Structure 1
Amino acid sequence: MLTVTPIQAFVDNYIWVISLPTSPLVYVVDPGDADVVIHYLQTHQLTLAGILITHHHHDHTGGIKRLIEYSTTMLDIFGPSRENIAHINQPITDQKQILLPALGVTASIFYLPGHTLGHIAYHIQDELFCGDTLFSGGCGRLFEGSASQLYHSLQCLANLDPKTRVYCAHEYTLSNLKFAMDVEPNNPDLAHYHAHCHRIRANDQATLPSSIEIEQDINPFLRCHKLEVITSVNQHFNQDSSDVITTFGLLRQWKDKA
C-alpha cells in the first residue's frame, strides 16, 4: 500500500512524496523547491530514488538540478518529452505505463494538453498525480492549449474510478469553491464540501487529496453539461448556447477574471 505525503513549498504548492512503509526509497512529484525536499528526506531518513514531472513550469521543476547534486546515486527523472525540461533521463513520449522500480509499481500515463501542451499525469494504483490540469473545484489556466484540449483532458480524468484520489499541485481549493458557488449556487454537494474545506483550512490542513467522485459532484469544470452551469455562463456572458466546449471555454475565462 502506497503512502503519499505532502511537502509544502512556496505559497501554495504541494510536492508529493510517494513511498512504501517498508522501504526508505521514495519518489517525489514536481519538486519546484529542492530545499524543502532535502529537509524532509533528512528528517525522515529517506532516500530519493526518482522524480516525476508533470509539466515544464518552474514551480514544478526548479528543484531538479539541486536534487541531482544532493543524491549519491543516479535518479530516475521522468517527464514529458514534448516539453523543454532539463535533466529528464526517462523521457515519456507515448508510453501507456512506466515502471517505478524502487517501489515495484507501475504508473499509467495520461496525456493532458491544455494547461501546457505536453502536460501529463501519473496514475499509480488508486492515486492520481495530475499537476496543474485538475484542481479540487477547478482546473488549470489555458497557457498553451485550447479550451477543447483541456476539456477533453479533464474528461479523461473524470472517467477514472470515482474512488481515485486526486493529488493536484496547489492548495487552490477555497478560492476555486468560492467561484464554483457563484456558478452553481444551488448545488448542495458543493455547499457541504465548501463548509468542510473551510474547517480543514482553519486547522492549516491540506484539502487534498480530493477524489474523482467529489470532483464530479462539485467541480464546475467537470459539470459543463449541467443546466445550472450552462445557465450561469449564458447569463454572465449575455448569450444563449448549450455547446459544452463553448460553456467550458467561457467558464475558464470567467474564472480567470474572478
Structure 2
Amino acid sequence: MRLTALPAFADNYIWALVADDGRAIVVDPGQAAPVVAAAAQQNWRPHTILLTHHHDDHIGGVTELQARFAGLEVIAPHDPRIPGATRRVGEGERIQALGLEIDVVSVPGHTRTHIAFHSAEHLFSGDALFSLGCGRMFEGTPPQLLASLHKLASLPPHLLLCCGHEYTVSNAVFARHVDPANVALARRHEEALAMRRDERPTLPVTLASELECNPFLRTDTPAVRAAVSRHLGRPVTDEVDVLAGLRDWKDGFRT
C-alpha cells in the first residue's frame, strides 16, 4: 500500500493508505478538501476512515466525505462527541480493512478517549505521540499519559510513526534544551530542518528513532530526569513526576 501525507490547516496531516485497487484508508480527515483533491488527482477513493479522537481538526471533514463517497466505514473511539461513526472500537480490538489487520490501542492523556491504530508497518498516533513530543493533557492525567506513552513505546520499533501534526522542528528545539548531549537527537533535528527547507514532511519516522530522541519516551533516562529536576528546583520522585514536570515545562516553553 502507498502511504500519503495530506497537509491540512496550518500544520495538520491527514494520512491515506492507498491500495493497488484504488481504495484507501484515510486517517483523521479534519478537512474534506485535501482528501477530495488528492483522490481526484491520484485516482483513488476513500473506503475506510479511522478517527483517533474528537477534536475538530481531526474529524471536521467526515460529514462531507460521507456525503461524497457512499458507503464509507467510519471507525472511531467510544465518544459521543464524534458523530457519524459506523463502528466504535477500543483497546485490544482488531480491524480488518483492505486486507490489512489494524490493532487498536487506548491512549488517554491528550483526550480521555484517544485511541491509536497500528498495522504491521504503520502507527497512526493522532495527537497522543508526535515526533520528538506528545500532545498536551487537555483531559487526561500524568499517570494516564505516562501509561499511554509506555504502551506506544512498547510497540515494534520498526513501525513508522504517522502523527497528526508537523511539529517536529519546534519539538526538537525543546527536546535539545532538555537533552543537549543526545547525538541522535541533534542529528534528527538537522534532518528535520533540511526536510522543512525543502518543503518535505518530517514524517513518517521510525518508532526506533523516537525511542532514541523523544524526551517524552525517555522519562526513565538519567539525562531527562536530571534536566527536569533542575527545572523544578527539586529532585523528581518517580517517572510520573518526571513526565508531569516535562509536560508542564513544554507547555510554557518559549524559544
TM-score, structure 2 as length reference: 0.97
RMSD of equivalent CA atoms: 1.0
1:49 to 47, 50, 66: 47
- Unaligned runs of 5+ residues in structure 1 are none
Q: 2:157 is matched with which residue: 158, 162, 174? A: 162
Map 1:91-110 to 2 at 5 A. 91-100=88-97, 103-110=98-105
Residue deviations 1:73-100 (CA, integer Å, cap 9, x gap)? 2110000013520000111145520111
SS of the equivalent of 1:85 reads coil
Query: In structure 1, what is the equivalent of residue 248 of structure 2?
Result: 253
Partners of 1:201 and 1:207 within 8 A in 2: yes
For residue 215 of structure 1, what is the amino acid of its counterpart?
E
The CA deviation at 1:105 is 1.4
Q: Is the 8 A contact 1:55 1:83 kept in 2?
A: no
Partner residue, 2:233: 238
Which residue identity is paired with 1:87?
G
Question: What one-letter code is carried by the residue in structure 1 that aligns with 2:166?
Answer: E
Matches within 5 A, 1:1-258: 2-20=1-19, 22-71=20-69, 73-100=70-97, 103-258=98-253
How far the C-alpha of 1:43 sits from its partner, in A, is 1.0
1: CA distance between counterparts of 2:165 and 2:139? 19
Query: AA paired with 2:144?
Result: Q
Which letter maps to 1:57?
Answer: H
Count of residues in correspondence between the two structures: 253
Letter in 2 for 1:235: R
Cα–Cα, structure 1 residues 11 and 112, in superposed 2: closer, same or farther, change >3 Å?
A: same
Q: Is the 8 A contact 1:80 1:93 kept in 2?
A: yes
Structure 2 counterpart SS, 1:56: coil
What is the CA–CA distance in structure 1 between the aligned matches of 2:77 and 2:236, rounded to whole Å? 36
- Cα deviation per residue 1:138-185 (whole Å; 9 max; x = unaligned)? 000000010111111011111111111100010000000100000001
Aligned partners of 2:28 and 2:59 also within 8 Å: yes
Measured in 2, the distance between the counterparts of 1:251 and 1:146 equals 13
Cα drift, residue 104 of structure 1: 1.4
Question: Does the 8 Å CA contact 2:130/2:168 hold for their aligned counterparts?
Answer: yes
Contact 1:230–1:242 under 8 Å retained in 2: no
After superposition, what is the alpha-carbon deviation per residue over 1:178-220, rounded to whole angstroms, capped at 9, x for unaligned?
A: 0000000111111111111111111010000011100110000
What TM-score results when the alignment is normalised by the length of structure 1? 0.96
Between the aligned partners of 1:215 and 1:46, the Cα distance in structure 2 is 31
Equivalent residues of 2:74, 2:87 under 8 A apart: yes
Q: Matches of 2:48 and 2:93 in 1, distance apart?
A: 19
What 5-or-longer segments of structure 2 have no aligned partner? none
How much identity, in percent, do the aligned residues show?
A: 38
**Which amino acid letter does the alignment assign opposite residue 193 of structure 1?**
R
Point out 4+ residue stretches in structure 1 off by more than 3 angstroms: none
